[in-house]
Structure 1
Amino acid sequence: MDTLDDLFARLRVATAPAEIEALQEGIWQIWLTTGHPLLDKHLEAGMRYLSAEDYTLAIREFTELIETSPDYAESWNKRATAYYLRGEYRASLLDIQQTLRREPRHFGALSGWATIVRMLGDDAGTLRVWQRLERLCPNWPGLQAQMRDLRDRLDEANGI
């Protein structure tokens, strides 16, 4: 079985969208493995509540998971997602920071961070987050075009 490091090394050089997607799926499978039945129960319940759009109960489950296993990055990421979907962007950003502190390569957290920063109108901040994503996977589908468009907009705004 591939380790996270193996999958990320392959993701860095992958060029085909199907290959990138398969590598991301492999990474998600590892991230979604807590290694403990009680933690799995909270994760699964939180994800069910998230799918049912019951963000309050999802946040409660992910918080329980965080309190039980604070080093498990995915619990922070899932709670960040629930906060985002509930419109609580500041809380989401704080949990994204915690996710990235535990797993700096977390492309889901980086993507969420870029989405929030872009919504808040911070093009330069969005570009910085996308550059971190680019270091993980330069051929992420659509990333280069989005970065080019954003750089053009920043250049126009700066009179370049």
Structure 2
Amino acid sequence: MTNELDELFARLRVATTPAEIEALQDGIWQRWLTTGDQLLDKYLESGIRAMSAGDYTHAINEFSYLIEAQPSFSEGWNKRATAYYLRGEYRASLLDVAETLRLEPRHFGALSGWATMLRMLGDHRGTLHVLKRLARICPHLPGLANQLRDLEDELES
């Protein structure tokens, strides 16, 4: 699976059209959203359903079980980070984002979430740094160039 992911990320770096970028990201998400274990996949699915239903406590519990069972599964950390974020627990979310990125430095979802939280907290320099990391993974992500330019303009003024 690593070779498949590496290939998808290599193609993502040079993709220029929104449709191509979206298709490649979808392919990456498909690989990220499987643990390789049917039982753990059920916890992941259950957590995602709970999160969609607004039951963040249940989602966090499902993702926590998944993380305990398979701590190297980056998407478990990312999903729990999202659930914490949605519940307003930004510190816990940021800690899980950090673990997600330790396990999968190319995780564009975690980078995007991190940038959103930093922007909300008013950390424009930090947001710019994270968005530049995102740009190294997917330079032509729609809207990213404008965000970078706007942040750089804000920091210069």
Pick the TM interval, shorter chain: over 0.9
Give the distance between the partners of 1:146 and 1:113, measured in 2 at CA.
Answer: 14
- Is 1:118 the counterpart of 2:119? The answer is yes
Q: CA deviation at 1:41?
A: 1.0
- Please state how far the C-alpha of 1:38 moved relative to its aligned partner: 1.1
- Deviation string 1:17-75 (CA, Å, 9 cap, x unpaired) is 00000000000000001110111010010001000000000000000000000000000
- Structure 1 distance, partners of 2:89, 2:135, is 27
Gap runs ≥5 in structure 1: none
Local SS of the residue matching 2:40: helix
Q: C-alpha separation between the residues in 2 aligned to 1:142 and 1:110? A: 15
The letter of the residue matching 1:40 is D
Q: Which amino acid aligns with 1:146?
A: Q
* TM superposition shift of 1:118: 0.4
* Structure 2 unaligned spans of 5+: none
2:50 paired with 1:36: no
CA RMSD of aligned residues (A): 1.0
Q: TM-score, normalised by structure 1?
A: 0.96
- Name the CA distance, whole Å, in 2 between partners of 1:122 and 1:101: 21
Q: TM-score, normalised by structure 2?
A: 0.98
Aligned to 1:13: 14
**For 1:114 and 1:21, how far apart are their aligned partners in 2?**
19
The SS at the match of 1:3 is helix
**Identity, % of aligned positions:** 71
Distance in 2 (alpha carbons) for counterparts of 1:129 and 1:123: 10
3-state SS of paired residue (1:124): helix
User: What is the match of residue 67 of structure 1?
Assistant: 68
Name the amino acid aligned to 1:75. G
User: Is 2:93 aligned against 1:96?
Assistant: no
Aligned: 1:86 with 2:87: yes
* SS of residue paired to 1:144: helix
- How many aligned residue pairs are there? 156
Q: Matched residue of 2:36: which SS?
A: coil
User: Bigger CA drift: 77-86 or 1-10?
Assistant: 1-10
Aligned to 1:151: 152
Alignment-mate amino acid for residue 62 of structure 1: F
